A = this chain, B = another copy of it.
Amino acid sequence: MRKISEECGVFGIWSPERKPLPFMAYYALLALQHRGQEASGIALNDDGIIRYHKGLGMVDRVFNREELEKLGEGQIVVAHNRYSTTGMPIPNNAQPIVVRHSKGNMALCHNGNLVNTYQLRTALENEGCIFHSTTDTEVIAYLITKERLHCGSIEEAVAGMAAKIEGAYSLVVMSPTKLIAMRDPHGFRPLCYGVMEDGSVVVASESCALDAVGATFIRDVKPGEMIVIDGNGIRSDERYCGKTETSHCIFEYIYFARPDSVLDGISVHHARIEFGKYLAKDHPVDADVVVGVPDSGLDAALGYSMESGIPYGIGLLKNKYIGRTFIAPGQEEREKLVRIKLNPIAETVRGKRVVLVDDSIVRGTTSKRIVRLVREAGAKEVHMRISAPPFQNPCYYGTDIDSREHLIACQHSVEETAKIIGADSLGYMDLGHALEVVQRNCPGRGYCTACFSGNYPTEVPPEGAKSRFEEKIRKEKS
């Protein structure tokens, strides 16, 4: 069950010929919808002219055929799905950001969070810059623009900008003639590229978006690498590669990414199966059926079943028609109406000892409800297994985890938590084992585990900086 805010999805195509690329971008955004559902946008470059459309809401709310047709044809397109990890959902924060600067038009799409935004923004304001949004992305746009004044090319300006920012960024930039993709040296957020039969080059947050548009996956963008695509082909600039150890976000594998994506060489589905197997090894239990909480607990449940030999069962049905516009019942009815979104299949759990596998516990309230549902459907025992280690720390790289005071794992022991959620037993994923899974074929590769371990791979913003900035942000709303 989704209990954590998603982040963003970025996408871009460079095509050797003028084409109705916004349609391709639309299909790609649908494939990346799980990464952000608050706003979406597409910007097209038609011979130096940028046309764009963006708005609050999911892709199919923001775009219809007419809007896509109005964007027309061009050679480059960039697109973005947004989940606002900073501030409120306001129209000005939707991406791509499209600006005009001294050397022409530019559009930017960004996934991730910088850790030195506040300093950079203050410095820019002190030079007389004005901000229309509250996003990191507008800071990046200014830095590129300032660099561009004395750089010979947009790619040099992007490289110059990269020397100044720190934190997580998977970035797609469109200039009048180029498509540029850049990933921060830590490689926090995923970014990959592929090619199409007609010679088009496609960049995307996840490989599933390449699949959606019929592109063939070539490889991940390397941490620190900048890829420049234009009429002269694809060039790689590795000047920032290897400057630091990589720290890929391990939570992408646990929860964010789509199971059919392959990130940095590792299949998300495979990783989840393996997480489930370790869960079975580390937290075995005598039971009759293993049930995954849809959608993101299903893979690990299957892994648990494989390893333990306990049969896999389909025991919870998620109502797929409940979307963002769902009118939730009032508090007093909510207790009764838990089964609107998720209904147990009594046939599967009745009279059984059930292993229930979910991807995370945040506050514990959802888990408590699900355990009760399964019990009411007749389960004799409910053993909860979580395919992630306990959340105990904030993330500064683009994930919106609840504050410590609400995180059940910060307040309670595993035993207490089991009691609170009403489970007969509870087992979390062991962080070491999780790392083992994602390092198996690439020994020594670094991962960011800060939300679990508290080990931050970068300096983090000064205490309170974020909240002070967010207080300022809070003050504006469209």
Closest to A213 in B: B337
Interface string of A119-143 (1 = CB under 8 A from B): 0001001111111101000000110
Whether A164 is near chain B, meaning CB under 8 Å from some CB there, is no
Chain B residues with CB below 8 A from A321, complex form? 30, 33-34, 58-60
Residues of A contacting B: mostly: mixed
- Closest chain-B Cβ to A176's Cβ sits at a distance in Å of 10
Whether A404 is near chain B, meaning CB under 8 Å from some CB there, is no
Interchain CB contact under 8 A, B327 and A26: yes
Interface string of A386-428 (1 = CB under 8 A from B): 0000000000000000000000000000000000000000000
Closest to A475 in B: B49
- Residues of A within 8 Å of B, CB-based: how many? 90
Q: How many copies does the complex hold?
A: 4
Chain B residues with CB below 8 A from A58, complex form? 321
Considering the chains assembled together, what is the distance between the CA atoms of A346 and B348 in angstroms?
28
Q: Which of A96-104, A228-236, A353-361 contacts B (4 or more CB under 8 A)?
A: A96-104
- Closest chain-B Cβ to A86's Cβ sits at a distance in Å of 14
Whether A325 is near chain B, meaning CB under 8 Å from some CB there, is yes
**4 tightest Cβ-Cβ pairs between the two chains A and B:** A49-B475, A214-B336, A102-B125, A128-B146
* A interface residues with partner B (beta carbon < 8 Å): 23, 26-27, 30-31, 33-34, 48-54, 58-60, 63-65, 68, 98-102, 105, 122, 125-132, 134, 141-142, 145-146, 149, 208, 211-214, 258-260, 262, 267, 269-270, 295, 298-299, 302, 306, 311-314, 317, 319-323, 325-327, 329, 333, 336-337, 339-340, 343-348, 472, 474-478
* Besides A98-B476, A295-B320, 9 other A-B contacts (C-beta < 8 A): A27-B340, A60-B326, A127-B128, A128-B149, A132-B132, A213-B336, A214-B337, A259-B345, A323-B323
